[in-house]
Chains A and B, each alone.
Chain A
Amino acid sequence: QVQLVQSGAEVKKPGSSVKVSCKASGGTFSSYAISWVRQAPGQGLEWMGRIIPILGIANYAQKFQGRVTITADKSTSTAYMELSSLRSEDTAVYYCARDGGVTRTFDYWGQGTLVTVSS
């Protein structure tokens, strides 16, 4: 059974950066993409970007270009999402999800990581 386990909650100051991890188990990590999706309090889902671990290629939603970096370590089956220049509007739950590639089907999700940006 595929499992995605994310790192714990974070509290950050405005202007700082946060790096969230997502460790995969039970599947072939490199065979799929990993996407990152966030959800602000009381709001909907927002796709941030994705990475194809076997290629090491990432692409990002236009809104986050220049502020987000998604990487993957094949040796530990772990994906990372780093968001910089944090502001209060970045307070959200951040999810990683296994991304089925062309179909962009997210069939397995991490448990979510709450990132709070507050001075």
Chain B
Amino acid sequence: QSALTQPASVSGSPGQSITISCTGTSSDVGGYNYVSWYQQHPGKAPKLMIYEVSNRPSGVSNRFSGSKSGNTASLTISGLQAEDEADYYCSSYTSSSTEFGGGTKLTVL
């Protein structure tokens, strides 16, 4: 059982927008602005897509955006493309560890 709750799967058609939620508590997501999002293609290492809730690393498309409200963080992908199909994980700082969500499989229809 992961500490952070994500939907198991989401889907969308090319060009559409989707949002993946990540729900925690006031001890993790709600307590700090240290939420990250990672993309993982099959057989590959995770790739950082969003850090500190809403910041994009250099080289990450501006189609990816992050936000947070209370104990829930969200990743939005706009203008869906076939290559966005992957697993997505959120993570959050806590005072004693780092927690991950269970992951969300994004299918591009």
Closest to A93 in B: B45
Contact with A along B50-61 (1 / 0, CB 8 A): 011000010000
Interface residues on A, range: 20 to 34
Contact present for B34 and A104 (CB under 8 Å) = yes
Task: State whether the Cβ of B74 lies closer than 8 Å to any Cβ in chain A.
Answer: no
Q: Once bound together, how far apart are the Cα atoms of A9 and B16, in whole Å? A: 40
Q: Is the interface of B mostly helix, strand, loop or mixed?
A: strand
How many residues of chain B have a CB within 8 Å of chain A? 23
Q: Once bound together, how far apart are the Cα atoms of A55 and B59, in whole Å? A: 31
Q: Which B residues from 1 to 52 make CB contacts under 8 A with A?
A: 2, 34, 36, 38, 45-48, 51-52
Task: State whether the Cβ of A46 lies closer than 8 Å to any Cβ in chain B.
Answer: yes
Contact present for A44 and B101 (CB under 8 Å) = yes
The chain B residues found within 8 Å of chain A, CB to CB, are 2, 34, 36, 38, 45-48, 51-52, 57, 89, 91-93, 96-103
